[in-house]
Structure 1
């Protein structure tokens, strides 16, 4: 069951690389995202980053719509676009060349470089790897309906000890429109999810998720 940080993520594509190297599993990093952003932000060059309010850092090449909300703490990376009515609640580290789209909500997340969340997405307590993409209306569900602690389920079950955990997307993951990634979902590198899917558990790298009974290896790997 390939669910470690090294299995899923290329750490050269995020400011959080050194921080993430401390951990074996990506969900172990979720508690420290706020403090990480505060630490990173204090070291950013004022020649490269503006600070529109306390503990909010925006690269001067980023484009932020005037209707977007940037809650502290957050970092918006180079050449990233934050579109109309995006709601960044806080504790969001957004990399370079990303898209945070219309009415998208982010909370306690790390978005690696070139991540796209372009249309009506909710991403909470999650990590999205390099060049991953959330289709329109797809969301991460980060709390179980019975409020019990999240368990990552694959070949074996790994307790996370967390009440809140959304999804971990490996590098180059594609999530189809209007899909729900249930708490504790792990999507391996280069995996794809069909539109309108309800996904839970661990999906292997280079797989296509059609439904829970039809998960097939890609033929183009």
Structure 2
């Protein structure tokens, strides 16, 4: 499943966490290691640029974190990022440079590359969001199947068994997710693709595509 590979999905220069992807083929392979990676990386960060706040929480001194935001470690928030009122970061989260984590947004076991926006009422769990990706208001990553079975990644007739009970969404670079969309467990959205508002997405959305759901799901190539 070539389209889902890390090399096809992400510019690894656009995250402080590039090293975690080394030697991996698919992005969900890093999810079990995020917490340990944060603690290892955090200990190496320059204290002139990053302040350690609480247990295993490192926040860039240039970041803006509202006092009402709740952050549990391990966590790294990189430079010039804005964490807005009421944000809830539940741990094992790496938030890149120039990101926005907004009002009532919840993060858990996730990597956000640089310039990612999750600005309004978003849930991002067990997921990787690529450079310059954006989730519209109310859009969420659903990370557990209703029957609690292991998550599969499906692309047409091709299926990958991930062996994971919890797996949210993998968003490639420059992905745009419309408001109030649900990204079902194991969704992969390849780079430069757009998801229409109110969509229920599952499987693999090809690169440079537009996904529309409603009376019938459509995936069309961008011009």
Q: What TM-score do the two structures reach when normalised by structure 1?
A: 0.98
Deviation at 1:51, TM superposition (A): 1.3
List aligned pairs for 1:146-165, cutoff 5 A.
146-155=147-156, 156-165=158-167
SS at match of 1:205: coil
What's 1:104 paired with? 105
CA distance in 2, matches of 1:39, 1:22: 18
Partner of 1:197: 199
The offset of 1:115, in angstroms, is 0.3
Q: State which of 168, 174, 177 in structure 2 corresponds to 1:175.
A: 177
Shift of the alpha carbon at 1:213?
Answer: 2.7
How many residues get paired? 219
| Alpha-carbon displacement from aligned partner over 1:134-172 (angstroms, at most 9, x marks no partner) | 000000000000000000000300000000000000000
Structure 1 residue 121 corresponds to structure 2 residue 122: yes
Structure 2 spans left out of the alignment, 5+ residues: none
Q: Is 2:145 the partner of 1:144?
A: yes
Deviation of 1:117 (Å): 0.2
Q: Does residue 121 of structure 2 align to residue 88 of structure 1?
A: no
Does 2:218 match 1:218? no
Distance in 1 separating the partners of 2:42 and 2:63: 16
Q: SS at the partner of 1:79?
A: coil
**Which one is further off, 43-52 or 80-89?**
43-52
Residue 186 (1) aligns with residue 188 (2): yes
SS of 1:40 mapped into structure 2 = helix
SS in 2 for 1:142: coil
**How far is 1:85 from its partner?**
0.6
Any runs of at least 4 consecutive aligned residues in structure 1 with deviations exceeding 2 A, and if so which?
none
1:45-86 Cα shifts (integer Å, max 9, x gaps)? 111111121200000000000000110100000000000010
Q: Distance in 2 between matches of 1:73 and 1:193?
A: 31
| Cα offsets for 1:66-115 (capped at 9, x unmatched) | 00011010000000000001000000000000000001000000000000
**Which residue is 1:31 aligned to?**
32
Structure 1: gaps spanning 5 or more residues: none
**RMSD (CA atoms):** 0.7
Q: How many Å separate the matches in 1 of 2:53 and 2:167?
A: 30
With structure 2 as the length reference, what TM-score do the two structures score? 0.97
